[in-house]
């Protein structure tokens, strides 16, 4: 992915080149922006979409067409967004393996170095948002290995492909394409230079365009939100995102239990305090009553918490008590295993490591 990095590294957000006549000698050679859609995009659907966006956000149609006019259909992104059933969820689906992968020595070493290098931004995010530095470091490590792997899919082309040449979650990707176009218009970021994941996620924290607009913060004080080149902005934005998705200062994210079971033989008292969704629906008091938590546990009885099951082929299921902070991470990526990865890495990294 080094090639992708090199491209992204030169994607400065400084200019407002998208809005003004460009003056660099290289740019002068470029043909004028296209005023029509590429053939593969279905005009009867895309034109009304752009017209609606143009009216709602007061963006000239010509500018929007200019952004999409050279888009190429991203068949690989479409394939990756439509995995065959069961793909990746087969026998390899093991929480112990997920934890082990997150504790990769190189990843942990990179995390420690990143924490030290950007110490001030991490401490500021911790102070402002109440999210521990190591949790933010856990997210950035799992997402992009600290900015090393940010994706090589051209973002405009990718979101247009997933929104208009693909069925699964097309509505979601159309909204993200709209958010990207608005982001480009209001920030001056050159959209056609942007590269990211096969799903359109961008930058060091892999924010979708709507998250960039809603939760991105300027944390290094240069008046621009730059999640591609600025580690500080990325660190602050992750803290802000988690705080806005229910992270609570000074509370634990989870408590592993020592219990395991075969999924078919789940004890009924566990079943009563368990969830399989993305929010806690019980309290610490309920979990004490169900004998999942020790009565001596030093957590407020009224605090929200639920039990979650984490599949493991060797042990059946492992059970963790998950608090709203655990679930805040699942809003970043809707998967228990994702949150487990982040929290495992978070526990392994430190400023002193
Ligand atoms: Ca900034």
The residue segments making up the domain with residue 204 are 33-82+150-223
Residue 60 lies in a domain: yes
Which of 173, 203, 223 is the last residue in one of the domains?
Answer: 223
* Same domain for 194 and 276: no
Distance (angstroms) between ligand 1 centre and the Cα of 122 equals 14
Catalytic site includes residue 57: no
Q: What is the CATH number of the domain that holds 56?
A: 1.10.8.350
Distance (angstroms) between ligand 1 centre and the Cα of 162 equals 29
* Same domain for 181 and 76: yes
* Same domain for 259 and 179: no
Residue 57 lies in a domain: yes
Residue 157 lies in a domain: yes
* Same domain for 77 and 155: yes
* Same domain for 279 and 203: no
Alpha helices by DSSP H, listed for the chain, are: 2-9, 25-28, 43-57, 61-68, 75-80, 95-102, 105-117, 119-129, 133-144, 155-164, 170-187, 209-215, 231-244, 268-271, 284-289, 324-332, 336-348
Distance (angstroms) between ligand 1 centre and the Cα of 236 equals 10
* Same domain for 157 and 66: yes
Out of 143, 167, 176, 317, the active site residue is: 143
Q: Name 305's bridge partners.
A: 282
135 burial level (CB within 10 Å; 0-12, 13-18, 19+): buried
* Same domain for 209 and 70: yes
Return the pLDDT at 35. Answer: 82
Residue 46 lies in a domain: yes
* Same domain for 154 and 195: yes
Distance (angstroms) between ligand 1 centre and the Cα of 226 equals 5
Evaluate whether 344 touches 337 at the Cβ level (below 8 Å).
no
Which of 208, 223, 238 is the last residue in one of the domains?
Answer: 223
Residue 12 lies in a domain: no
Residue 174 lies in a domain: yes
* Same domain for 283 and 160: no
Gyration radius from the chain CA atoms: 22
Distance (angstroms) between ligand 1 centre and the Cα of 187 equals 12
* Same domain for 195 and 315: no
Return the pLDDT at 28. Answer: 53
Evaluate whether 170 touches 48 at the Cβ level (below 8 Å).
no
Distance (angstroms) between ligand 1 centre and the Cα of 231 equals 9
Mean pLDDT by 10 residues, the chain (353 residues): 32 37 52 86 97 98 96 98 72 84 97 98 98 98 98 98 97 98 96 97 98 98 97 98 97 94 91 96 97 94 96 92 98 96 98 90
Q: Quick count: other Cβ atoms within 10 Å of Cβ 90?
A: 8
* Same domain for 163 and 54: yes
Return the pLDDT at 15. Answer: 35
Which of 223, 246, 277 is the last residue in one of the domains?
Answer: 223
Evaluate whether 112 touches 350 at the Cβ level (below 8 Å).
yes
In total, how many domains does the chain have?
Answer: 2
* Same domain for 176 and 38: yes
């Amino acid at each position: 992915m080094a090639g992708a990095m090199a491209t992204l590294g030169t994607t400065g957000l400084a200019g407002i080149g998208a809005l003004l006549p460009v003056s660099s000698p290289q740019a002068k050679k470029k043909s004028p922006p296209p005023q029509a859609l590429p053939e593969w995009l279905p005009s009867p659907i895309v034109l009304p979409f752009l017209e609606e966006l143009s009216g709602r956000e007061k963006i000239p149609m010509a500018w929007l067409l200019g952004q999409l006019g050279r888009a190429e259909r991203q068949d690989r992104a479409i394939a990756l967004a439509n995995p065959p059933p069961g793909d990746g969820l087969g026998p390899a689906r093991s929480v112990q393996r997920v934890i082990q992968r997150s504790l990769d020595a190189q990843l942990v070493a990179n995390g420690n170095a990143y924490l030290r290098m950007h110490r001030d931004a991490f401490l500021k995010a911790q102070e402002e948002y109440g999210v521990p530095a190591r949790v933010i470091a856990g997210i950035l490590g799992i997402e992009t290995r600290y900015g090393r792997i940010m994706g090589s899919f051209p973002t405009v082309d990718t979101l247009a492909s997933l929104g208009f040449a693909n069925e699964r979650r097309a509505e979601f990707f159309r909204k993200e394409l709209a958010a990207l176009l608005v982001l480009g218009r209001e920030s001056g970021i050159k959209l056609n230079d942007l590269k990211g994941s096969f799903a359109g996620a961008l930058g060091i924290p892999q924010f979708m365009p709507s998250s960039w607009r809603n939760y991105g913060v300027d944390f290094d004080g240069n008046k621009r939100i730059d999640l591609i080149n600025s580690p500080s902005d990325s660190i602050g934005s992750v803290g802000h995102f988690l705080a806005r998705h229910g992270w609570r200062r000074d509370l634990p994210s989870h408590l592993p239990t020592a219990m395991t079971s075969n999924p078919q033989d789940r004890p009924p008292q566990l079943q009563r305090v368990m969830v399989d969704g993305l929010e806690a629906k019980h309290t610490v008091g309920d979990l004490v009553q169900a004998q999942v938590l020790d009565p001596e546990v030093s957590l407020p009885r009224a605090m929200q918490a639920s039990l979650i099951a984490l599949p493991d082929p060797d042990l059946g299921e492992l059970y963790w008590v998950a608090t709203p902070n655990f679930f805040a991470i699942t809003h970043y990526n809707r998967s228990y295993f994702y949150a487990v990865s982040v929290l495992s890495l978070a526990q392994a990294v430190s400023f002193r490591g």
